[in-house]
A and B are shown apart, each in its own frame.
Chain A
Amino acid sequence: MNASVVRQLRKIVGHETVLDRPEDLALYEYDAGVDKSRPGAVVFAHNTEQVSKVMRLAHENKIPVVPRGAGTGLSGGAIAAKDAIVLSTARMNRILEVDIPNQRAIVQPGVVNLEMSNAVVKYGYYYAPDPSSQKACTIGGNVAENSGGPHTLALGVTVNHVTGIEAVLPDGRIIELGGKTQDCCGLDLTGFFVGSEGTLGVATKITVRLTKLPEAVTTLLAIYNSIQDAANTVVAITQSGVTPAALEMLDGWLLRAVEAAVHAGYPLDSAAVLLIELEGMKEAVEEQAETVKAVCMAQKAREVRRAKDEAERQLLWLGRKTAFGAIGRISSSYYTQDGVIPRTKVPATLAEIERISQKYNLQIGNVFHAGDGNLHPLILFDGRDPQQREDSRSAAKEIMSFCLSLGGSITGEHGVGREKINLMPYMFSEDDLEIMVRVRNVFNPESLLNPQKVIPETRMCREITGPLPKAKVEPVDGVPV
């Protein structure tokens, strides 16, 4: 990075909070996904004004800026090209206001997701979106990615819990979108901004909605001898009229890996488990627990356990939330997918993933948000073996093409980022994408902010829209596909 630019950056944010030595930059060349690239400098802003000044400086010098929260993203959204500035919001980590009577909090973008909930639990409230990385990931990053989590099945994703945003545009202009009210006059630019993956502006203040803690919560663990029975249960619960707060599935291979790491109490000899959480008034929770248990048993569950107390409940969730970490113990490299399918297609999709696993001779573990059809197959491979690396990508592409053939999506909560940008033309036409670019250009006309993310260049679209490998759809156990 140009020394004069670095000097000016230091003038804005302070000497210590600009990194430009290669050994420091190395820490910022990756996120939790698979891509890597070393930025030119990393800048830690402390307030909105500094963000604005950094943006203006970058804009004048035509230097790309990539905003970054905790770097826990899985789609390369925070990865910067070599001459770019990474603008970290990690130091902007203050909760500015907690307004319980209005069920709102105003936070800086660097506030860690779980800390938001911890700060208000004493009032009987929490912040509902709970990505698995919630101990580390930031609200700013959640806003960029429109993050979900296990508990978004009943309560919705980030966009359903954000009512106002202050952001800085690439030219340094500070804008306000929405506020504390649930709705306001004019276009819903708050809603549009959430999930824009840092390509419209850098959020510097976020007004979030706080949710009242439920009176009662219970967690069931349904244990299966066949993964198809577990998958069929997901369909049956959805149809029973009960909407669980969370409905998660782990397959047998994966739960054994998790048990080895954290001893969550998952049965080692099972083919799959469902983790089902119910919350609400205690009468409602009791009734729903009975209904769900009956549905599970009717779908050939071997056993349905119910967490006896809060400690046991937390343990069951610990297993789920640390699943990715557990895999890290086993395999040096894994590739996480984020496809979404209509819920009734869960059984067929799991059968297809098994076929793909055998075809490439790669272990694929399944841990996912079954209730809303959001799959997270984990493809394990040896990163040192070029053939395996290649095969893992091919397997991922086949899984994705199967999701798309069912009318699904390439990403449910991880974002498109850099990783899935080439898949966008399979979901959106050139015109669809061109319209999105037009709106982006209103905010970010030169694409200096987080360039080459989310929307592929039109030129590129034409080159990469070859046919996807044709997905083979086979009926499974009488489930229509």
Chain B
Amino acid sequence: MTTLAAITSIESELASVVGEANVRNEQVEINGVVPAVSVSPGSTEEVVAILRLVSERELVVAPAGGFTRQQVGGVPERIDVLLRTERLNQILQYDPGDLTIRVCAGLRLGEMQRQLAEHQQWIPFDPPQAATASMGGLLATASFGPLKQGFGSLRDFCIGIQFVLAEGKTGKGGGNVVKNVAGYDMMKLMIGSYGSLAVITGANFKVFPKPRQTRTFVCPFHSLQEAINFRNQVIQSPLAPMCMELISPAAGEYLSDPPVVNDPDHYAPAQPTAKPLQEWQMVVRVSGSDNILARCRRELGSAVGRELEGAAEEQFWRWVSDFEHSVNQRHRNAMVVYTHVTIQDVTTAAQALEKAAPDYNFVPAMVGRVGTGNLVMGFVPLPVDPPSAMQYANCASEFRGLLPPGSSAMVVQCPKEAKAYFDVWGSTPTDLKLMREIKHALDAKNILNRGRFIV
């Protein structure tokens, strides 16, 4: 049977599993590829049935949650079935007393936070597009936000995971208690596997009491080096900030609600500036009583330019989380690179951005968790002589070449045309052969997200 015939025949079979209303032909695209059919299962059993059907026919499946990060990764050769988790959106168990929650993969983070907030709790996790992103998708893409500084990331909160392999076999790891070493840590394997090993159907998390009061201190500096020196002082101080963010001069432009788009393709500031941008900002967020906040303020001293609290503070951090999304909305041709470096290599990485971007007619803009070394770097095309597809590749290559060994630089966003010229994932210090063998062991037919992830 040809692929086309296989898809036509599978539509009716999928409908018999999930009901006709849940099989659709959606006009969504992933790096230009439109899935042949989209299916929304309502239970794990239905996920199992769907995957059995498609793997028997060796069709290619892309799992999808809130559809916030589907453009990350390589251009798929084809997508036969888009497996949407949107109906798997229940909270299965939430015990405020135990500080644990068990949810289905399609639950949106915003909804989960809303439920937790009713008990003055939260998951200290603020990735981009938190309102719409699904927990399954956030796990699959190992998403993170500014709160990583103080609280760590999903790998630190996720205490259990449930998934279905391409062949339709269910598996799990962990449990619903906060400390547990029984069996292999399947959570770590699934987090950041970009849907290439299994379809995540549910997960368990530990949650935390929500801080009653927080304050944000914005500290401006004239140079990158001054900002980094200040960061080093904060690291040495007794402060334990929730967030510690470095904001580059041009990044401020994207820390606002999306304005009218002046020019969708190129760098076009909302308000053209007379003098060159040069202010680097270090932004420190802390929590505690009035007494503690006052102490923090004293420790930070004269560096503090302004303070944020309440709704303005919340909004500011939402903007920082959504930085890459904002860049993307303003410039459909922008390139965004996640750069993971050691704490001290932040300077080198920021300098690499400032060097490589202008070399290829991009404006550099970055925000980053500079206490942990997780940076989000934007390359915004200039309106005059904008970069060609090939130049994205050359720019990424120059940028990567300037980073110290052991760093990672993943291009999470760039025009799909450019993806033909380079590997968006880049190099990794971790053994690639093992990664590929694990992929083969769990998805021998390469059904899941074929061609999109590093494996």
**A369 partner residues in chain B, CB cutoff 8 A:** 179
Contact with A along B185-207 (1 / 0, CB 8 A): 11111011100000000000000
Interface centre among A185, A432, A440, A454 (most CB of B within 10 A): A185
Q: Please tell me which stretch of B103-111, B286-294, B350-358, B381-389 contacts chain A, meaning at least 4 of its Cβ atoms lie within 8 angstroms of it.
A: B286-294
Query: For the complex, is B181 an interface residue (Cβ under 8 Å from A)?
Result: yes
Would you list which residues of chain B between 150 and 182 have a CB under 8 Å from chain A? 152-153, 155-156, 165, 169-173, 175-182
Decide: A281 near B183, CB < 8 A? Known: A177-B431, A182-B373. no
Q: Please tell me if the beta carbons of B180 and A238 are within 8 angstroms of each other in the complex.
A: no
Decide: A442 near B434, CB < 8 A? Known: A182-B340, A412-B180, A431-B170. yes
> Within the complex, which residue of B98, B152, B235, B442 is in contact with A435, where a contact is CB–CB below 8 Å?
B442
Query: For the complex, is B247 an interface residue (Cβ under 8 Å from A)?
Result: no
Q: Please tell me if the beta carbons of B99 and A412 are within 8 angstroms of each other in the complex.
A: no
Nearest B residue to A408, CB-CB = B177
**A159 partner residues in chain B, CB cutoff 8 A:** 155, 185, 188
Contact with A along B320-348 (1 / 0, CB 8 A): 00000000000000000000111110000
Number of A-B contacts (CB under 8 A): 255
Nearest B residue to A147, CB-CB = B181
Q: Please tell me if the beta carbons of B425 and A409 are within 8 angstroms of each other in the complex.
A: no
Query: For the complex, is B430 an interface residue (Cβ under 8 Å from A)?
Result: yes
> Within the complex, which residue of B186, B187, B289, B340 is in contact with A183, where a contact is CB–CB below 8 Å?
B340
Query: For the complex, is A187 an interface residue (Cβ under 8 Å from B)?
Result: yes
Query: For the complex, is A422 an interface residue (Cβ under 8 Å from B)?
Result: no
**A431 partner residues in chain B, CB cutoff 8 A:** 169-171
> Within the complex, which residue of A186, A238, A441 is in contact with B428, where a contact is CB–CB below 8 Å?
A186
> Within the complex, which residue of B180, B188, B239 is in contact with A409, where a contact is CB–CB below 8 Å?
B180
Query: For the complex, is B275 an interface residue (Cβ under 8 Å from A)?
Result: no
With the chains together, A218 CA to B4 CA distance in Å? 68
With the chains together, A135 CA to B407 CA distance in Å? 34
Nearest B residue to A406, CB-CB = B177
Q: Please tell me if the beta carbons of A436 and B343 are within 8 angstroms of each other in the complex.
A: no
A436 to chain B, nearest CB (A): 5
Q: Please tell me if the beta carbons of B408 and A340 are within 8 angstroms of each other in the complex.
A: no
Q: Please tell me if the beta carbons of B183 and A454 are within 8 angstroms of each other in the complex.
A: yes
> Within the complex, which residue of B120, B292, B425 is in contact with A281, where a contact is CB–CB below 8 Å?
B292
> Within the complex, which residue of A181, A373, A409 is in contact with B341, where a contact is CB–CB below 8 Å?
A181
**B156 partner residues in chain A, CB cutoff 8 A:** 156, 160
Query: For the complex, is A179 an interface residue (Cβ under 8 Å from B)?
Result: yes
Would you list which residues of chain B between 371 and 391 have a CB under 8 Å from chain A? 372-374
Query: For the complex, is A386 an interface residue (Cβ under 8 Å from B)?
Result: no
Nearest A residue to B237, CB-CB = A215
**B95 partner residues in chain A, CB cutoff 8 A:** 342, 344
A343 to chain B, nearest CB (A): 5
Q: Please tell me if the beta carbons of A424 and B183 are within 8 angstroms of each other in the complex.
A: yes
Q: Please tell me which stretch of A30-38, A190-198, A259-267, A464-472 contacts chain B, meaning at least 4 of its Cβ atoms lie within 8 angstroms of it.
A: A190-198
Interface centre among B179, B343, B407, B409 (most CB of A within 10 A): B179
Query: For the complex, is B100 an interface residue (Cβ under 8 Å from A)?
Result: yes
With the chains together, A194 CA to B188 CA distance in Å? 10
> Within the complex, which residue of B100, B188, B238 is in contact with A192, where a contact is CB–CB below 8 Å?
B188
Query: For the complex, is B417 an interface residue (Cβ under 8 Å from A)?
Result: no
Q: Please tell me if the beta carbons of A435 and B165 are within 8 angstroms of each other in the complex.
A: yes
Nearest B residue to A157, CB-CB = B179
Decide: A192 near B185, CB < 8 A? Known: A148-B179, A239-B97, A344-B95. yes
Nearest B residue to A190, CB-CB = B430
Decide: A183 near B240, CB < 8 A? Known: A192-B188, A424-B182, A424-B183. no
**A281 partner residues in chain B, CB cutoff 8 A:** 238-240, 288, 292, 295
Q: Please tell me if the beta carbons of B183 and A432 are within 8 angstroms of each other in the complex.
A: yes
Decide: A439 near B189, CB < 8 A? Known: A181-B340, A181-B408, A344-B97. yes
Which residues on A are within 8 Å of B, measured CB to CB? 101-104, 124, 145-146, 148, 152, 156-157, 159-160, 164, 175-192, 194-196, 212, 214-215, 235, 238-239, 241-243, 280-284, 287, 340-344, 369, 372-374, 407-416, 420, 424, 427-429, 431-436, 438-443, 454-455
Q: Given known contacts A191-B155, A343-B98, A428-B183, what 10 new A-B pairs fall within 8 Å (CB)?
A: A176-B431, A177-B430, A180-B342, A190-B188, A192-B185, A243-B208, A407-B175, A427-B183, A428-B182, A440-B184
What are 23 A-B pairs with beta-carbon distances under 8 A? A101-B343, A156-B152, A157-B181, A184-B430, A185-B409, A186-B454, A187-B192, A190-B430, A243-B209, A281-B239, A283-B288, A284-B288, A287-B292, A340-B180, A342-B100, A342-B176, A372-B179, A374-B179, A411-B182, A427-B183, A431-B171, A436-B171, A442-B437
User: 8 nearest interchain CB pairs?
Assistant: A191-B188, A215-B238, A241-B209, A185-B408, A435-B171, A185-B428, A186-B428, A344-B97
